[in-house]
Amino acid sequence: MIRLPIPVRAVLLAAVLALGSLAAPAPALAVNPDEMLPDPALEARARDISKHLRCLVCQNQSIDDSDAGLAKDLRVLVRERIKAGDSNDEVIAFIVDRYGDYVLLNPPVKKSTIVLWAGPGIVAILGLLALFLFFRKRRGMTIASAQAPLSAEERARLAKILDGDEK
Amino acid sequence: MYLLPLVLFAVLAVYFAVGLTKDPKIIPSALIDKPAPTFDLPTIPGRKGDGFSTADLKKGQVSVVNVFASWCVPCRAEHPYINKLAEMGIVPVYGLNYKDTPDAALNWLSNLGDNYTAVGADISGRVGIDWGVYGVPETFIVDGKGRIRYKQTGPIVGDMLETKILPLIRAIQGGSQ
């Protein structure tokens, strides 16, 4: 092994450390290592489920993001249900039975949420309709004025232009 | 046609004004009119008296379940009203001691008074999750068949006992016994 001079080694070391810090930005995880399941596949499912469940204490974070005590309890519960053999839907149903649809960050389409889901579409359609009517009316006006026969005054002026009298 | 923007504005203004009067922290319970969860909790270690289980809620009388913890500041403000309700003797008042340490809970109860018919110690918080608890204090009114009929999120303070809780208890006592 070639021994590099110390300044060169220092520079190399600094470069390696800098690259390393670029490659692995450490995300601030709410999930503690002691909560995690040993099986990576099951843990991935737990993470996926947790990302869709609202933390009821902080409300705009998922339980996967939140440091609240209840969020931790729910994360542990999700993992317990997975270990007990529940499917993802069963785990979510278990939590929804206790806390209602409110825990779902993605609200289900049902009678009470139809306005929420259909509202933006309906507003967009109304807006397009209004635009369509507006432009049709304006175009109708332009065409109408373009098709109207020339008045006597206009004809006289046109004749002048054609004769080259008016510049 | 010129009125349209004004009408749209008025509709949106009313809609948002109503929205502002609602407290987004109050989440409607998913358990209203559903049977109370199944559980059987021992009392706080060191406390004299009974533990608390689902069977207590199926004795044919309306009961109140109060979720409390010694670490919960609003619970402290609420507790005198819970004591008062229990003293009236119109309903059994059960305590669910949520995620507490037994020593702290015992100390808290001996300072503030313990009029509970029975107290269950939910140290892990798992029974609390079954009840849909997300922020103590919470208080449930359960009918004689063990169905949850009402949930109060947040402390019962001021005139709430007289104006809200007692009328509800009487209505449920009158209706479903």
pLDDT of the residue at A59: 76
Q: Is the ipTM of this complex over 0.85?
A: no
8 Å CB contact of A59 and B131: no
CA distance B51 to B44: 8
8 Å CB contact of B129 and A57: no
Report the predicted TM-score, pTM, of the whole model to 2 decimal places: 0.75
Give residue B30's pLDDT band: very low, low, confident or very high (50, 70, 90): confident
Would you list the DSSP string of A101-153? GGGBSS---SGGGHHHHHHHHHHHHHHHHHHHHHHHHHHHHHHHHHHSPPPHH
Report how far apart the first and last C-alpha atoms of chain A are (Å, whole number).
94
Which of A81, A92, A98 to mutate: most B Cβ within 10 Å? A98
Does any CB of chain A come closer than 8 Å to the CB of residue B25?
A: yes
- pLDDT at residue A27 above 70? no
Q: Is B66 exposed, middle or buried (0-12, 13-18, 19+ CB in 10 A)?
A: buried
What domains are defined for chain B?
A: 28-176 (3.40.30.10)
Q: Is B71 helix (H, G, I), strand (E, B) or coil?
A: coil
pLDDT per residue over A66-102, tens digit each?
Answer: 888 899 999 999 999 999 999 999 999 999 999 988 8
Give residue A30's pLDDT band: very low, low, confident or very high (50, 70, 90): confident
Which of B39, B71, B99, B134 to mutate: most A Cβ within 10 Å? B134
